[in-house]
Amino acid sequence: MEQALIVNCSPVRTGATARIAGIIAQRLSARYAVHEVCIDDYRFGFCLGCRRCHDTAICVQRDGVDNLMEEFSCADVIVCVSPSYWADVPGQFKAFIDRCTPWCNTHEPHARLRPGKRGFAVALRTGPGMRECERILDTLEHFYGHLDIACRGRLGLCGVERREDVAGKINEIRQFCEGMIL
């Protein structure tokens, strides 16, 4: 059975982002062995900017990034669900992205994930305009691209501030999941 990794990019384990991640996990569980994580499950430092990973494909810091990247490595499908923090991904998730430089395909040598991974991106925001969601989705898709993960779908959800706001978006989320099940 293929594996799906659902990543709550928010440090809030019980908010709207977690609720959306949970709906996706539940929907995909009929087709995939699902593992759901929160960025706050992992402890790691900021990128030091030392660039040693450009020569070694290994970060000098050994911490939670290695554990989360192992989750990425095992997954066939990766779904990152991110809220808007000042019109982009939360700082905790951005720090994780920065630390993924050893796996970045823009330099050699670089660490590699197993090929053939499919990525999906979900963004949510409080306000009514989709532009902010598009920026977050672009960030996630850019991240996937540098890890050689093919982004196969993206979903922006506006008007979601609290966990209870997700109720009005459930059908849209479920419909989006259908593209992951195929």
Mean pLDDT of 131-160: 98
Mean pLDDT of 38-64: 97
DSSP state of 42: -
The span from the CA of 144 to the CA of 119, in Å, is 7
Q: Quick one: fold of 3-181?
A: Rossmann fold (3.40.50)
Please report how many Cα atoms fall inside a 13 Å half-sphere around the Cα of residue 24, on the Cβ side: 32
Task: Describe the strand order of the beta sheet including 77-83 as a list of residue ranges.
Answer: 33-38, 3-8, 77-83, 118-124, 150-157
Q: Give the model's pLDDT for residue 182.
A: 67
Q: Give the model's pLDDT for residue 181.
A: 83
Check pLDDT > 70 for residue 14: yes
Mean pLDDT of 123-151: 97
Mean pLDDT of 4-30: 97
pTM: 0.97
Mean pLDDT of 60-88: 97
The span from the CA of 178 to the CA of 182, in Å, is 7
Mean pLDDT of 64-75: 98
| Percentage of the chain exceeding pLDDT 90 | 98
Q: Give the model's pLDDT for residue 8.
A: 98
Token pair 């459930």 is found at 170
Beta bridge partners of 4: 34, 77
Q: Give the model's pLDDT for residue 147.
A: 98
